[in-house]
Structures are given as structure tokens and as C-alpha cells.
Amino acid sequence: MSEQNSTSTRPTALVVSAHSADFVWRAGGAIALHARKGYDVTIVCLSYGERGESAKLWKKDGCTMEHVKSERRKEAEAAASALGAADIQFFDIGDYPLGITEDAKFRLVDVMRKVQPKFILSHSLEDPYNTDHPAATRMTIECRMIAQAWGHNPGEKILGAPQVYLFEPHQTEQCGWKPDVLLDISEVWDRKYAAIQCMQGQEHLWEYYTRVGKQRGVQAKRNSGGQAGGKNVEYGEGYQSIFPRMISEL
């Protein structure tokens, strides 16, 4: 994995993932695509999903928490590498529920200021199945605010106003998630699928998220013109923006 260089002039992006596999299913295409475009993408995994998202490992005799964390870390690092991410950091704050403390917040603020991301990716605002997901998003939005404060660690370079994009939850309609962006990830699908295959503990989700990619691709084509000139998009990812965007042309 390449060294992140804060003096680089390369564009940057930040992904905040509640558990160590979330970034793969939900944002793997965006990570690979922007890496290919020359972005340094930093991934923060708040937890390993060691308690709540490692059923396969726990079902084996003699499994320990350290073993689970270690396995999950290896999978996540392999996936990040497959996607071409510049950096992946593990906060290890515990999952189910996430152990969000002031220290954890300030650590995320530090990352935001160091990375100075052009945009940030995180979870949906609601999720009745998994309250860690919206907790991570609330933390992200709060830390974005702190990172903008001149009086937090005075002298550091403050954060600008990066867009926060919410990636797709497992059951979108139950989570009040509505995408306003459909990203064409066709050219990097192979990398996303390679990353998906790193998730040995959750094989039952591989085809589920392959189908998600295809559906978003069909929708992307339709929304860009359909049969009357729409772009042929084989795989897509949907995102919901939090903030309005400043533009110079509609």
C-alpha cells in the first residue's frame, strides 16, 4: 500500500466505515475508481466488526476475539489493496455497539485534517437493523464540524467543506436512503469484485452485492438517457449527498 503523503498535490478522499468490511460492499467501486483517477483514498475502519459481523469465524471452536480481529484486519487490508486505496486505518473502538468516545472523535478529526479530503463517504442516516451504521455517520458529520473549527488544535490547517456521500445500506427502503448520485463503476468492477472476494467470512453476500451493482448500473443508464442516448453502464453505485453543491453550470 502506497505511503500517504500530506504534501502531495493529488486529490484525496476519505471513507469512514463502521465495520471493517462495510467499505467493500458499499463503496468499493468509488474507492477503486478514484484511486485509478489519481486520488489518494484513505479508509478508516472504526471497528473490525469483530462481534457483530464475524459469525463464520465465531462458529469455529476455540475462536478468540484477538483471532477474529486479526482475520478481519487481514481481509480488510487485502481488500483495500485490491481497490488501490492509499491508506487504511483501524480505530479498533469496538462494535455492537460502536465505542464512540471523545478520543475517537478527535482521532477522526486528525485524519480529516491530515487528509483534507475532497469528499467523504459514510453510511446512511438511519438503519433499524444496524445502529452502528448511523452512529458512524453522525460521528462523521460531527467530526467534519470539529475539523472546521479554528479553535480546535489552533495552528493546524482546518478542513474545508467536503461533500459527505452516504453509501448504500443493505435494505435501502427501510433506512430512508435515497440516492441522488449514480456512479459508473464499470471500468473498475473487476477490482471491486476482487476486493469482495477477500471477504471470506461473508461469502453469502458476494452475489447479493454483485446484483446491487448491476441494478444501479441499469438505473444509471436509464437516468442518463435510457434507450435515447443513455450511457451504457454495466455496474453502478448509488450515493446520497448531505449538502448542496456549488456549481457553475447545471
Cβ 8 to a second copy shortest distance, Å: 17
Cβ 224 to a second copy shortest distance, Å: 4
Torsion of CA 102, 105, 110, 116, to 10 degrees: -150
Interface with a second copy in residues 158-197 (CB under 8 A): 158-161, 163-165, 170-174, 177-184
Is residue 10 close enough to count as binding a second copy by CB under 8 A? no
Rule CB under 8 A: choose which of 3, 7, 66, 244 binds a second copy.
244
Cβ 232 to a second copy shortest distance, Å: 11
Is residue 206 close enough to count as binding a second copy by CB under 8 A? no
Rule CB under 8 A: choose which of 40, 50, 77, 87 binds a second copy.
50
Q: Say which residues have a Cβ less than 8 Å from residue 167's Cβ, sequence separation at least 6.
A: 26, 27, 30, 121, 122, 123, 124, 237, 238, 239
Which triple of cell numbers denotes residue 168?
A: 448504500
Is residue 101 close enough to count as binding a second copy by CB under 8 A? no
Q: Residue 5 or residue 174: which is nearer to a second copy going by CB?
A: 174
Contact 243, 181 (CB under 8 A): no
Is residue 115 close enough to count as binding a second copy by CB under 8 A? no
Is residue 9 close enough to count as binding a second copy by CB under 8 A? no
225 conformational bin, left if phi > 0, alpha if psi -120 to 50, beta if neither: left
Which triple of cell numbers denotes residue 247?
A: 456549481
Contact 91, 12 (CB under 8 A): no
Is residue 114 close enough to count as binding a second copy by CB under 8 A? no
